[in-house]
Structure 1
Amino acid sequence: MAESTPISVITDDVRTSSTKRLWYRTTLFNAFIIGGVGFMAPGLWNAMNSLGAGGAETPYLVNAANALVFGLMGFLCLFGGPIANRIGMNWTLVLGAVGYPIYSAALYTNNRYGNEWFVLVGAVACGLSAGLFWASEGAVALGYPEPAKRGQYMNIWLWFRTGGPLLGSAIVLGLNHSAVSKSKGKVGSETYLIFVALQCVAAPLAVFLTPPEKVQRGDGSKVKIVLQDSWSAEMKELWRVSCRKEVLMLLPVFWASYFNQYQGNFEVYYFGVRARALIGFVSYIGTLLSSWIISRFLDYKKVTVKNRIIYSFYYVIVLHITAWVYGWVVQEIYTANPPSLDWSDKGFTRGSFVVILWEFSRQALQNWMYYLISTMTDNISELSRLSGILRGQESFSQAVSFGLNTKEWYGGRVPLAVNTILLGLAVLPTWLVIKDYNPIEHGSSEAYEEKGRDEEEPSVENFGKNESIVKEASLNK
């Protein structure tokens, strides 16, 4: 007896009749929605952590809470793809935004009243929510846009997501710039109240995300969807994707990319509050620049997609070698003679560049990995599973790293050594994946590209003639 799993397929055929495009169905609008939610929710969360351990005076409680956040987030990311495929991308995104203000509120109560249990409760809420957010966000950011503009729209998404920390860092800097904040300590409690208020906007904004079957791309193609008809079928598909050879070989780089959570401890150990605020602000400007540089190249049409992936991989390696050699040198100097630096001190620039280079290299790797997995499939349903696996493994890595950094290691040598080893071990299997890799290039309309139309144009000829839905029934023999 043989049985086929029932699926529904919405094809990406290009229409031939004139159809008016609705601005709120365009890929540009949805890029702003996903970017806006990322700006308010994880973006501001990252702003707090860019202060070093959530702006706390000591890093250990917040590191323990963050280990809990990312442990839960890893599981929810893995299963976020099937959940998003069953309940819809927009509702998954809504649920993915609700936990962030709870965690920020918990940090506020800890900062002002010394409350510790609420920090752990907030961490649970944030971890469960964040897992769903990341699984849906990656699929939307990579699966909605036209393939020829994938790097451009990924950059819009990441600029928004990084803009949150940039704004948050500016707020923190504005509230903690006085001479009182020159020394080590914690940020003012009013900082968290502003973050809570802004993060509460994320969930209502997520409601406006367009379902994938209604997205109107600029080149006239449709977002391809392959939906399983049951939860068990979704889980089987998740297992199948997880066992793909290239996915298994990419696990080391998935783990290595976000393992460096010693960065928060580094800032707390060696910088005053306002210095940490300034480092957070400047490092995110570097992150934006890093995202823009690599995304521009990933959309460069005079180079094949495969070569873009390979050349960008070399670029990422060079960045990481530079950042980590410099980081080790400065850390050894600080281990021998630990400083307490303000932005007015002579050695501030040298120390701040450790964080800036770590962030710059990490963002380049992030963009590259997301672009790589977006070329592994031609439908958004599988892309949601791939992005969930990527972010889930990163989350498990972050949970372990935050757990590792709950202890004060001498000179930070243990977490730095583990991170360096992970990065080194990731190079060979990642290279083995991409050297013979054949990326899937799909869904673009050559005729449309020759016309040179842009996404922002209000309408397009030949948008679509027929939207076909194929349903396969179960067969029993």
Structure 2
Amino acid sequence: MGILDRFRRIRYYSPMTQVVMVGLVCFLCPGMYNALNGMGGGGQMDRTTGNNANTALYCTFIVFGVAGGAIVNLCGVRWTIAISGLAYALYSGSYIYLNHTGNGAFTIAAGAVLGMGAGVMWAAQGMIMVSYPREEEKGKYIAVFWVIFNLGGMIGGVLPFAINYHSESDSLSDGVYIAFVILESLGALLGLALAPPAKVVRDDGTSVVLVKYTNATREAIEIVRLFLNPTMLLLLPMCFTSNFFYSYQFGPVNASIFNIRTRGFNNILYWGAQMVSAYALSFLLDSKRLTRRQRGTIAFAIVAVFFNAIWGGTLAQQLKYTHGPTADETTDYPGGLLDFLEHQRAAGPIILYMLYGLGDALYQNLAYWIIGSLTNDSQKLSRYAGFYKGMQSLGATVAWQLDAKNVAYMDQLIGNWVLLGISLVPMLYVITRLQDHSEEAPVFEEEKSGSTPQLSIAGKDIS
């Protein structure tokens, strides 16, 4: 084998190459889904079908998210990601049928299928992103993935913005949905190019995974143990909250006070802002001058302050209106729907919406960093990532159904703010007990001191 061929082979099997590749898959699949979903109701004037499809999606996502780590451990990353990618294309294509028939049954069913595929894809993605890098590089790898992934949402926002720029319709055209289907199909195909984890080698020559025997029985047992693991239970509010706000931001905000082309413009800013904040946060999370606990605590403080600030701004905005446009009436937002060219009216709400993207990336990057700090074992991390996405989907299921049931916008806002507050306390508790090195999986254990049990992080193997 020539030197050039050997170099190419080594770089193909490097962790960064694999993280970039899975980032590109998510750029083309979940990234496009995010762009479509960010339009509110899948880009339809009536959000009922889109909300019900999202409810079906997250219901199946709960099961396949939690089980996703086991599926990836048993079946590998290539085919699981590739097949999962096709589910995204099916979902986008279902809206073409909806445009022509007005029948939402197919879209709702496609949402349920997408939940199955998304659960598995995100478990595989989470494992690759947080187990491949060295401990001191996890923040950078998370940021690299997040930038590439959200570039998909950003470019996906360009499509409806450009195609519907001169449109007077309140729903997306077939051309937008067809473009999404093509891009998502390409993403599924790219999944087949990923390398098996056992072949991935870091720059220092170490393998990212020690191949261990696993089978369906063991994986089933490990799934049950996730719900008996005190660390995971403490992080459950964080997981539950991490996507809960999407339904409010995309529906009662973006779809309710902005016209169709401005929704696409907002998505460009929303997902673009995520790229910026993820990249900036990585410098803190990988800082060599601070301990892991110090880095986590500072990042936590930034997230807590920022999120409370933007919800405060949202409250001021929400006091101005109660509903979005329907088939019978327009929004009651002062002056009607906002257009991005109305600079004086639209600037504040658009900037606030962009800040939502900043906050989302801060919260989720910190969440992934916490999970990645618990262990370096790729099989455990695939299960942890699956648990995170499964419980995240449980929260999203509730949130999308609240909007589908026309729960008052103010009540949705308050629910989001309260859930954030609840999630912060156990999140901080876990951060302040992280170890600087996690060669083994930190777990909470009882340390007997006299007759009083105490909770602490210990460097023990969960298995």
Normalised by the size of structure 2, how large is the TM-score? Answer: 0.87
Gaps of 5+ in 1: 1-18, 444-477
- Determine if contact 1:96/1:134 at 8 Å carries over to the other structure: no
AA of the residue aligned to 2:346:
F
Q: Deviation of residue 95 (structure 1)? A: 2.5
Q: 1:337 to 1:161 in 2, by over 3 A?
A: closer
Deviation at 1:104, TM superposition (A): 0.3
1:419 aligned residue (410, 416, 422): 416
Q: Does 1:201 align with 2:186?
A: yes
State the shift of 1:89 in Å.
Answer: 2.1
Aligned residues: 421
Q: Which residue of 2 aligns with 1:388?
A: 386
| C-alpha deviation, 1:370, in angstroms | 0.3
Equivalence for 2:434: 437
**Corresponding residue of 1:451:** none
**What displacement does 1:240 show?**
2.1
Q: Distance in 2 between matches of 1:223 and 1:244?
A: 24
Match of 1:141 among 102, 105, 129: 129
Tell me the equivalent position of 1:240. Answer: 225
Shift of 1:439: 4.7
Q: Secondary structure at the match of 2:204?
A: coil
**Equivalent of 2:207 in 214, 217, 222:** 222
2:138 and 2:36 mapped to 1: Cα distance? 29
**1:228–1:234: 8 Å Cα contact kept in structure 2?**
no
The correspondence for 2:314, drawn from 302, 306, 327, is: 327
Compared with structure 1, are the counterparts of its residues 337 and 190 closer, same or farther at alpha carbon in structure 2 (3 Å cutoff)?
A: closer
2:57 maps to 1:72: no
Determine helix, strand or coil for the equivalent of 2:212. Answer: strand
Output the CA distance in 2 between the equivalents of 1:337 and 1:273.
Answer: 15
Q: Which residue of 2 aligns with 1:12?
A: none
CA drift at 1:426 = 1.3
How far apart, CA to CA, are the structure 2 residues paired with 1:284 and 1:366? 13
Higher RCO (CA 8 Å, separation ≥ 6 residues): 1
8 Å contact kept, 1:56–1:187:
yes
The answer to whether the 8 A contact 2:374-2:434 is kept is no
Determine whether 1:49 maps to 2:49.
no
Task: Write the deviation string for residues 76-130 of structure 1: whole angstroms up to 9, x where unpaired.
Answer: 0100111111111222222221200000000122123323221022112211111
Deviation of 1:281 (Å): 0.9
Query: C-alpha root-mean-square deviation of aligned residues, in Å?
Result: 1.8
> 1:363 matched to which residue of 2?
361
Match of 1:7 in 2: none
Deviation of 1:355 after TM superposition, in Å, equals 1.9
**In 2, distance between residues paired with 1:322 and 1:165?**
24
2:198 corresponds in structure 1 to 213
Is the CA contact (8 Å cut-off) linking 1:378 and 1:440 kept in structure 2? no
Counting only pairs closer than 5 Å after superposition, residues 449-464 of structure 1 correspond to structure 2 as none
Q: Is the Cα contact below 8 Å between 1:151 and 1:371 reproduced in 2?
A: yes
Shift of 1:427: 1.7
Deviates more, 1:115-124 or 1:20-29: 20-29
Pick closer, same or farther for the CA change 1:237–1:396 going to 2, 3 Å: same
Q: How many percent identity over aligned positions?
A: 27
Q: Which amino acid aligns with 2:194?
A: L
Deviation at 1:226, TM superposition (A): 5.8
* Residue correspondence of structure 1 range 26-175 to structure 2 within 5 A: 26-175=14-163
Range that drifts further, 85-94 or 167-176? 85-94
Q: What is the distance in 1 between the residues matched to 2:278 and 2:359? A: 10
Unaligned runs of 5+ in 2: 1-5, 323-331, 441-463
Whole-Å separation in 1 of the counterparts to 2:407 and 2:219: 43
1:267 aligns with 2:265: no
Give the Cα separation in 2 of the matches to 1:225 and 1:79: 21
Does the CA contact (< 8 Å) of 1:101 and 1:200 recur in 2?
A: yes
Distance in 1, matches of 2:353 and 2:381, equals: 32
Scaled by the length of structure 1, what TM-score is found?
Answer: 0.85
Q: Which of 272, 281, 291 matches 1:304?
A: 291
Question: Does 1:341 pair with 2:338?
Answer: yes
Contact 2:147 2:276 in 1 (8 A): no
Contact 2:208 2:378 survives alignment (8 Å)? yes
Cα offset for 1:441? 3.9
